[in-house]
Structure 1
């Protein structure tokens, strides 16, 4: 007890000294970071914390809606879940970065079990010391700042991946709608070709047209059936591609609900371009540079030696006396001043600035390309809808009427039929391309086009 009491008091003083040194460096609680504001209330992120919770799961029926597809992908997309866990990892690393170094307890006994005056235990000396490292370079604060920036970057990565998933699901849903509509149209074409074949067959049997017309009609019907099977396979592939966004190997839905959106007025490029800073791939670079600056600050701080203060108690049995011990230990920075890591951190900061410029340039280039596709698709859809489709429909109806009246032969009907259905196919493809271009532009600016005035 005589040894323990003064040792405990001295140990408390050492710990207090270590804590007091850091206390003046602790920042007051800051405002919520971007990650806190955006992701803490996210069902998709919180699903990662308790993956067995099924309360927020989306049930897929035979008919899949667009909103259900988005919700299910956000909750169950495996890649997005991995980014959600990464946010949690960085939160835990931030906690670790804010911790003080542990005190070190050292105990030793000497001058015993030897010969002469050191024989036995009567001449032994017992020393117990407690040491605490004091971070003179504010390492703890700067580690915390670096961990904060790293956590924010994880939040930006999550946001970018979330938008990638939303955009991917949107484009996959559009492609699936396109495939479903093309398949339905091909069924209609098979019906039209079958009716025409039946009509020609009846006329051949009546002796009104040659057998050659029937053969040509049979070839056209067979070709339409082959195209129908191809369209069905494309629909199956589109279903599987869409279902893969929530980790499903076998699509549960049988059909999609919804229609491809018609083009609306496209805002001027200058107005669209003004929103590009909302793109998380661009917005994250401010945090990226902040992280590199924090890493440089920490490297510089680690170049300052940290001292270790210690205190303890020593007991000399042969003298029957005890004494206190205090000490200070500090590395002498003759050779290692962390100069290599400091230079590397500076170079890394310069590299990040160059990468930021490259990323911004690449995003502007991608936006210009996507915007050009958007304008081209919108123009094509409008032209097909207003001029080409009505003309093809009128020509097909006129050819059918004329054929029944004996004014046109089979080849003219066949030509009008091919023109009509190839135009419909092109129209559906252009409409889907327009919707995919809208999704791509919105991903690049992080903003719905509907929020941007076209005037």
Structure 2
């Protein structure tokens, strides 16, 4: 599997030494393979399986040996021969009331809880990965627009400096253009800093050293569409699929299993054994059997049983709260998608095209003096701010859909 992944990513690695071009699917694959928190979580799952093995083991038998330290009749030290004395005893603890099976059941549920927690960690980190991935993509789109604007504006400023030297333009006009260029560079720096933060998070999630360049096509963006099923259906899917819901249910089951175990612990266990006494009993070479148990007069595990019963009530309340929370999260996520889609659809199509058409002839018209300096600056600022906000809105749209994936606990969009 790892060898296949290496060959799959080899063309991407060879594209540029300084950056790694990744599609969303490729990022997902690297994430599952490389993320250190996921790798650590798999060790927790292995530890949980080992706890099941430990719970299923029987207690070891115990052996005791007593020998004569000194025989005064024979004046011998450690007299353990035929004329001496020794006692050998063996006993085995036998659980009653099904304690061993109850411990195994509790360990099995604890191991399942670890798996659910791992799945919840995977769900949370994948949501972070997807959100940062698309946010970085749209930030790069915005930066490419800014770079083109800054390059063109820099050329315009240079031309105006030459015209200023010839006294064809005023100092006020030149300084206003330089201030606009300064503002664009500041805005670009702000976006660059946010992009750097997203790069840092993505590289940490993927355990990579190279900068990441997201690859996104229009078909992938169009695949994010609200499912036709009802909100109630999505809620039911969330309650079935979400790992944190399963964690809550598992904790309730553990509380119930622990309550059963605590009641069983109130029943005394038996110790069965045998004893050999060479010369210290009423007959030589005495053989006997022994049975021992505690008398449950003072400690009947009352406190632990009461605490376990209360823990069941506590976990059931938390489980009910989790159900309410999940239902509300699904409703809010669907509502957020509808609001974002309504906003995107109202501005994205014609608005984006019209601004691009305006921007294409903007610098030429300014240099020909078809528009004034104030009109030029206003249009440049409006264009760049609108470009930045539109790409932010596009990123928010994808984030809203990924949030629905997150709150439902299932991949709804391919």
How far does residue 207 in structure 1 lie from its aligned partner after superposition? 6.2
Q: 1:64 aligns with which of 21, 26, 32?
A: 21
2:200 alignment counterpart: 240
Q: Distance in 1 between matches of 2:88 and 2:366?
A: 111
Shift of the 181–399 alpha-carbon distance from structure 1 to 2, 3 Å rule, reads: closer
Q: Distance in 1 between matches of 2:123 and 2:318?
A: 21
What is the CA–CA distance in structure 2 between the aligned matches of 1:318 and 1:230, rounded to whole Å? 93
Q: What is the match of residue 366 of structure 1?
A: 329
CA 1:207–1:265: 2 relative to 1, 3 Å: same
Q: Distance in 2 between matches of 1:318 and 1:85?
A: 55
Residue 139 (1) aligns with residue 70 (2): no
- 3-state SS of the aligned residue for 1:107? strand
Tell me the residue number matched to 2:215.
257
Q: Which residue of 2 aligns with 1:276?
A: 238
1:40-439 mapped onto 2 (5 Å cutoff): 61=13, 62-65=19-22, 66-110=24-68, 113=70, 115=72, 120=76, 121=79, 124-198=84-158, 200-201=160-161, 209-248=169-208, 251-253=209-211, 255-259=213-217, 261-262=220-221, 264-267=224-227, 268-277=230-239, 278-316=241-279, 321-396=284-359, 403=366, 406-439=369-402
**Contact in 2 for aligned 1:63/1:257 (Cα 8 Å):** no
Contact 1:388–1:423 (8 Å) recurs in 2: no
Aligned residue for 2:285, secondary structure, equals strand
Quote the offset at 1:342 in angstroms.
Answer: 0.9
Distance 2:346 2:324 in 1: 33
Cα 1:275–1:420 shift into 2, 3 Å: same
Moved more, 315-324 or 407-416: 315-324
Tell whether the 8 Å contact from 2:248 to 2:322 is kept in structure 1 after alignment.
no
Change (3 A) 1:336 1:317: closer
Confirm or deny: 8 A CA contact 2:134 2:214 kept in the other structure: no
RMSD of aligned Cα (Å) = 3.0
Which structure 1 segments of 5+ residues have no match? Answer: 1-42, 44-52
Counterpart Cα distance in 1 of 2:355 and 2:246? 48
| Cα distance change on mapping 1:73 and 1:146 into 2, 3 Å | same
Q: Which deviates the most, 253-262 or 327-336? A: 253-262
* 1:62-90 C-alpha deviation (Å, 9 max, x unpaired): 32313333222222222222221111111
- Per mean C-alpha deviation after superposition, the further-off stretch among 123-132 and 276-285 is 123-132
Which stretch has the larger CA shift, 272-281 or 149-158? Answer: 272-281
Q: Distance in 2 between matches of 1:354 and 1:406?
A: 72
CA distance in 1 between partners of 2:343 and 2:179 (Å): 32
CA distance in 2, matches of 1:319, 1:158: 64
Q: Is the 8 A contact 1:123 1:317 kept in 2?
A: no
Query: Once the two structures are superposed, what CA deviation does each residue of 1:414-441 show, in whole Å capped at 9, x if it has no partner?
Result: 2222222211111110111111121121
- Matched position secondary structure for 2:291: strand
Q: Which has the higher contact order (CA 8 A, sep 6+)?
A: 2
- Counterpart-to-counterpart distance in 2, 1:56 and 1:421: 40
Aligned length: 396
Distance in 2 of aligned mates of 1:75 and 1:158: 14
Corresponding residue for residue 441 of structure 1: 404
The secondary structure found in structure 1 opposite 2:299 is coil
Deviation readout 1:363-409 (Å, 9 max, x if unpaired): 33333333333222222222221242233334445755654664431
Return the alpha-carbon distance in structure 1 between the equivalents of residues 88 and 321 of structure 2.
59
Distance 1:67 1:396, change over 3 A: closer
